[in-house]
């Protein structure tokens, strides 16, 4: 199912970040939120803080007309209102599908024994923000006012759209993989364009962790955070190959990037999470640039990321493909490979400054997603989703922001050295 993504909604809807965001040393979350229901009935939402951020049991929303469906085996949990409105959660992922609109929360829901916990933000921020005629939150009294607990519109409608700053990448149309239209900021094109490619998406989840975290969700969250960071620089035009949970063909991503770049200076960054089935102890981060794979590990990673292509089995067995070989030859002639290797080094260096995992270094391989992005291009594996400890790390919003900051710094350092006119 294809979702729209209301990006960066926190800017417009969240004056309450201090309540459910990171806490200063010694700060305490409220132990409960009072709920005022119609007819003078009162209830409470008990607040837990066992994972460092405030949550409430999803079952505590029952007096407000919600029921919980799902279990730890199925993975997906649904909160269904008596009017038919559905919210879908994936434990360990900060995304919630709000009546088929994908929204990113500050923290992730999770199971603790037999109880499913959702971030407190759902009740005190999302409910009042998206259903203002049904809910209001009094922060001073920690009081949630429910006016009948009825949605403000028919359940089939979507939450209000949130304005997106011009400097951020445009959203892809819901109809399918077509290049998004774009209006240049202030009537002029920036001299530099950076294309961010969150890996996988839609029916292609990528690698999956044992805790249910999907590579596609991690890649999208980091990609959006990176777009936000880079958009602060008015000299850079930022593009995203996807900004929602939709599948984009591998070859199409590079084609779009090349078209968007045109004759300008550009760089392409594809974001992924690594996997090694049967070896849960392997962890760490590595950055790839396009070239022939030299080792079995490089061939394995390339084959895994190229799995949607018909030639994936050939790549896994031989590490070579005639079509890819031709593209590699052309890229070497244009000297993109040298600059891609430099960009990979910068990304790896910045990630090593904060990442607790093993620095696995810069590597190379025949990745389809970056073969036809005719510019310096890298593929970043930001952690092993098959390592339980690293899977938990990859599910955290703080890690997504740190990774985005690191890649942003690497790109800006790289662009200081890359020729102003790029490579012709």
4-12+29-146 and 185-417 agree in CATH topology:
no
Structure confidence at residue 9 as a pLDDT band (50, 70, 90): very low
Distance between CA 207 and CA 200 in Å, rounded? 9
Count of CB atoms situated within 10 Å of the CB of 247: 17
Asked whether residue 365 carries a pLDDT value surpassing 60, the answer given is: yes
What is the CA angle 238-239-243, rounded to 5? 120
Average pLDDT over residues 42-56: 86
Average pLDDT over residues 292-319: 44
Q: Which of 76-80, 97-101, 420-424 has the lowest mean pLDDT?
A: 420-424
DSSP state of 104: E
Greater confidence, 86 or 315?
86
Structure tokens at 45: 């939402």
Tokens 């009948």 belong to which residue?
148
pTM: 0.53
Structure tokens at 387: 């390592």
Check residue 188 and give its pLDDT.
Answer: 58
Task: Assign 3-class secondary structure to 184-197.
Answer: CHHHCCCCEEEEEE
Check residue 30 and give its pLDDT.
Answer: 66
Average pLDDT over residues 183-187: 42
Average pLDDT over residues 19-24: 46
Q: What is the per-residue pLDDT across 253-283, written as a single tens digit (0 to 9) for each?
A: 888 998 999 889 999 999 999 998 888 889 9
Count of CB atoms situated within 10 Å of the CB of 360: 18
Check residue 410 and give its pLDDT.
Answer: 97
Rounded to the nearest angstrom, the gap between the alpha carbon of residue 294 and the centroid of all alpha carbons in its chain is 30
Spans of all domains in the chain: 4-12+29-146, 185-417
Average pLDDT over residues 346-373: 86
Average pLDDT over residues 371-380: 86
What is the CA angle 212-217-219, rounded to 5? 125
Q: What is the per-residue pLDDT across 111-130, written as a single tens digit (0 to 9) for each?
A: 988 899 999 988 888 888 77
Asked whether residue 331 carries a pLDDT value surpassing 60, the answer given is: no
Candidates 363, 403, 408, 401; CA nearest to 383 is: 403
For residues 114 and 70, is the Cβ–Cβ distance under 8 A? no
Check residue 205 and give its pLDDT.
Answer: 92
Check residue 156 and give its pLDDT.
Answer: 35
DSSP state of 123: I
Greater confidence, 167 or 98?
98
Percent of the chain exceeding pLDDT 70 equals: 68
Average pLDDT over residues 63-78: 83
Check residue 74 and give its pLDDT.
Answer: 67
Whole-number average pLDDT of the chain: 74
CATH fold label, 4-12+29-146: Copper Amine Oxidase; Chain A, domain 1 (3.30.457)
Asked whether residue 214 carries a pLDDT value surpassing 90, the answer given is: yes
Distance between CA 132 and CA 213 in Å, rounded? 31
> Order of strands, edge to edge, in the sheet holding 285-290?
236-240, 192-198, 265-274, 377-384, 285-290, 359-365
Distance between CA 21 and CA 9 in Å, rounded? 15
Average pLDDT over residues 141-146: 83
DSSP state of 399: H
Check residue 187 and give its pLDDT.
Answer: 46
Q: According to CATH, what is the number of the domain 185-417?
A: 3.40.630.40
Candidates 331, 260, 256; CA nearest to 289 is: 331
Instruction: Name 216's Cβ contacts closer than 8 Å, sequence gap at least 6.
Output: 198, 199, 200, 201, 202, 204, 205, 206, 245
For residues 387 and 281, is the Cβ–Cβ distance under 8 A? yes
Distance between CA 282 and CA 241 in Å, rounded? 30
Check residue 369 and give its pLDDT.
Answer: 63
Tokens 């009546």 belong to which residue?
99
Distance between CA 1 and CA 44 in Å, rounded? 35
For residues 268 and 195, is the Cβ–Cβ distance under 8 A? yes
Greater confidence, 311 or 84?
84
Average pLDDT over residues 162-173: 29
Rounded to the nearest angstrom, the gap between the alpha carbon of residue 337 and the centroid of all alpha carbons in its chain is 27
DSSP state of 29: -
For residues 275 and 304, is the Cβ–Cβ distance under 8 A? yes
Average pLDDT over residues 38-66: 85
Candidates 213, 180, 251; CA nearest to 383 is: 213
The bridge status of strand 377-384 relative to strand 265-274 is parallel
Greater confidence, 141 or 231?
231
Asked whether residue 363 carries a pLDDT value surpassing 90, the answer given is: no
Check residue 44 and give its pLDDT.
Answer: 86
For residues 98 and 159, is the Cβ–Cβ distance under 8 A? yes
């Amino acid at each position: 199912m294809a979702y729209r993504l209301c990006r960066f909604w926190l800017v417009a809807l969240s004056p309450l970040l201090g309540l459910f965001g990171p806490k200063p040393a010694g700060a305490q979350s409220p132990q409960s939120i009072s709920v005022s229901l119609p007819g003078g009935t009162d209830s409470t939402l008990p607040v837990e803080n066992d994972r460092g951020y405030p949550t409430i049991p999803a079952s505590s929303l029952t007096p407000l007309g919600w029921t919980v469906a799902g279990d730890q085996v199925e993975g997906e949990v649904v909160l269904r209102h008596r009017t038919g409105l559905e919210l879908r959660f994936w434990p360990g992922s900060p995304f919630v599908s709000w009546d088929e609109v994908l929204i990113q929360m500050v923290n992730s829901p999770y199971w603790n024994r037999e109880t499913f916990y959702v971030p407190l933000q759902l009740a005190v921020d999302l409910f009042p923000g998206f259903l203002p005629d049904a809910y209001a939150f009094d922060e001073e009294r920690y009081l949630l006012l429910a006016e009948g607990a009825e949605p403000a519109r028919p359940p089939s409608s979507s939450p209000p759209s949130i304005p997106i700053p011009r400097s951020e990448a445009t959203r892809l149309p819901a109809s399918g993989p077509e290049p998004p239209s774009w209006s240049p900021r202030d009537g002029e094109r920036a001299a530099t364009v950076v294309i961010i490619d969150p890996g996988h998406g839609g029916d292609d989840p990528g690698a999956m962790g044992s805790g249910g975290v999907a590579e596609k969700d991690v890649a999208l969250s980091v990609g959006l955070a990176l777009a936000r960071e880079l958009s602060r620089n008015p000299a850079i035009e930022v593009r995203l190959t996807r900004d929602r949970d939709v599948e984009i063909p591998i070859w199409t991503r590079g084609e779009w990037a090349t078209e968007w770049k045109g004759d300008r200076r550009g760089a392409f960054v594809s974001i992924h999470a690594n996997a090694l089935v049967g070896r849960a102890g392997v962890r760490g981060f590595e950055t790839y640039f396009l070239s022939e794979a030299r080792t079995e590990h490089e061939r394995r990673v390339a084959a895994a990321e190229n799995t949607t292509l018909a030639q994936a089995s050939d790549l896994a067995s031989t590490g070579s493909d005639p079509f890819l070989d031709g593209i590699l030859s052309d890229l070497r002639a244009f000297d993109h490979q040298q600059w891609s290797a430099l960009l990979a080094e910068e990304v790896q260096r910045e990630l090593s400054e904060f990442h607790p995992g093993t620095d696995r270094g810069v590597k190379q391989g025949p990745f389809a997603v970056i073969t036809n992005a005719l510019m310096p291009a890298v593929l970043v594996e930001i952690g092993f989703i098959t390592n339980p400890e690293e899977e938990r790390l990859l599910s955290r919003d703080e890690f997504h922001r740190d990774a985005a900051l690191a890649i942003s710094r690497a790109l800006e350092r790289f662009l200081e050295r890359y020729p102003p006119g790029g490579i012709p």
